[in-house]
Every structure is written in C-alpha cells, then in structure tokens.
Structure 1
Amino acid sequence: MAHLEASLGKDVIGKDGSTVEVSSLVDYELLGVYFSAQWCTPCRNFTPVLTDCYNKLNAAGKRWEIIFISLDKDEETCKEHYESMPWLLFPFENDLKEQLSDKYGVTAIPTLLLLDPKTGDLVSDNGIDLVEQDPSGDKFPWK
C-alpha cells in the first residue's frame, strides 16, 4: 500500500466530501485512476460509459474503485465535472497530479489507468479500451 500512497498521497475525497485514506483501498480487486476534464469532449462522452460500467460492477458485488484526477483549469470546473461521477476525487490542488501523469506517461485524456491496489502495480494503461470493449464488465478485472 505504501506504493499507492507514494503515488496518490495519503487521502482522496469521498463522494460525500469525506476524507478517504488511500490505504483503505487495498481490499479492492482493482483501482482505476481516471484522468479527465470537463472541456474535453471525448472525456464527456466516455464518463457516462465508465459510470455505467462502474455501477454495474459494484451492483454485482465486484470490488473496484476509481479515483478521478481532474485536469480542468480550476477547482470550480473540476467540481462541476465531478458531480456526474459516483467514485472518489483526487484533491484538485494536490502536487502529485503532475508526478502521476509523468510516472504513467499520461499524454492525452481521457485516460483510465488500472492498478493493483495491493501492490500499486500497473495492470493496464488502456482502461478506456477495456471498458469500451466490455461495458458490462463480464471480463472484470481485465487482467
């Protein structure tokens, strides 16, 4: 879990505004890190697809979580974009955002990284295609 905390910091924000410790995510089967922005048309088109897949998998008892990392220009726009998402939020002002982008080679959005929450290892840097090819999550956890 130390690997995840090194990349993501100690805390993210829950949908209700609460603080969620990154260390608590170790029990999930898969962790998605979703880079997106409201100004990005492909992001706005993919977010509902991802939301639907996320909700279906969680309703089926699958254990996965997603952290949204906003590349919006300001925090207000980030919050507006986040309203439609059911998962966790990476703090907007967190300096680790740029380091994460560099570490995983994020050069375009939307990007969905899939990580093993127990080790922090990258499972796939192509989560968008995996979700689009399997929107019902039949092949979850896509390893």
Structure 2
Amino acid sequence: MTMKWSDLLGVDLIEANDRRNGNIYRYVPITELENKVGAIYFSAHWCERCRNFTSKLAACYKEVESELKDRFEIVFVSSDEDEKHFHDYFQSMPWKAIPYSGSLIFT
C-alpha cells in the first residue's frame, strides 16, 4: 500500500530560513518529499533523551545530506506543549518539520 505524504502530514512543511525579512522559517510544499524515503521524527524539547539523540541525529544527517538530499528526508513532528519550545528546539535541526499546531494527541 502506498500512502501520499500529504495524507499523513498535510500540505506544507517548514524549514530553516536564512532570516531574510525577519522570517526564521519558510514554508515548503509537501510535494518536495515525493519519491523520497522519509523518516518521521517524533521528539520534544522537554525530553532530555530526545535532545541528546537529536544532536547525534543532526550530526549524522549533516554528514550524509549532500549525498542523500534527493532521496531521503527527515520530518520533525513536535510533541512540545507550546510554540516557543517548538521553535527553540527546531532551530537545532537541519531537516524539515510540520508547522506547530499545538500539543499532539493521538486517538
């Protein structure tokens, strides 16, 4: 069974921007993930083990990014309870994220 990224994550992602026009992030269409293998990374600022793993994952990602850029992507899904912690934490990540929309509750 094949699932579209947009069915799972919505239509837009955010990624780091170079702070032009005062914007920290820029929106990118989910279609940028088409034909890529992806990893959905659930994490939160309040989780110390997550923060430790995130720094290691970011270092590995940066090492292979140029080689795998057209074939692989990580998408961060925040479990933070407020937007400030999401933004503070996401700034340490070199990959894309779904925009913050409040604390996630799965049923």
Task: Assess if the C-alpha contact under 8 Å between 2:39 and 2:75 holds in 1.
Answer: yes
Three-state SS of the structure 1 residue aligned to 2:16 is: coil
The CA deviation string for residues 21-50 of structure 1, in whole angstroms up to 9 with x for no partner, is 11221132x211111011101101100111
**TM-score for both structures, normalised by structure 2:** 0.79
Structure 2: distance between partners of 1:5 and 1:19:
14
Residue type of the partner of 2:43? S
Aligned-pair Cα RMSD in Å: 2.1
Partner residue in 1 for 2:39? 32
Quote the residue 1:79 is aligned against. 87
Task: Give runs of aligned pairs for residues 1-143 of structure 1, distance below 5 A.
Answer: 3-16=4-17, 17-28=25-36, 30-59=37-66, 61-62=67-68, 63-93=71-101, 97-98=104-105
Contact 2:38-2:72 within 8 A present in 1 as well: yes
State TM-score, norm by structure 1: 0.61
Q: Structure 1 segments of 4 or more deviating over 2 A?
A: none
Count matched residues: 97
Q: Percent identity?
A: 34
